[in-house]
Amino acid sequence: MNQPAIQHVYVLKIRHSGEEDDVYLFHLYEDACFKAFEYFDMLMNSSDPISDIEELEDWLFEYDKGYFQIFSTNIQ
């Protein structure tokens, strides 16, 4: 009997303040980061004051707009 393949994924757990968590799975860390920016309508572009994922996390906390966590795990 073959064992199911194990895949390494990045989990994005995210929510707007006062709302329930949404959870997304990604193969690439960069994709999880992009989704976090997209979720809060803060897509990375040259006119955005927020340029990296750590700045986004700080901004969301400072203005109580939401929360996210990105972590990696293995799934079968």
Tell me the domain boundaries of the chain: 7-70
The predicted structure's pLDDT at residue 72: 98
Report the distance separating Cα 1 and Cα 16, nearest Å: 44
Residues 42 and 56: beta-carbon distance below 8 Å: yes
The predicted structure's pLDDT at residue 46: 57
**pTM score:** 0.84
Confidence of residue 15 (pLDDT cuts 50, 70, 90): very high
pLDDT tens digits along 24-59: 999 999 999 999 999 998 875 555 556 789 989 999
The predicted structure's pLDDT at residue 12: 98
The residue that leads in pLDDT, 15 or 44, is 15
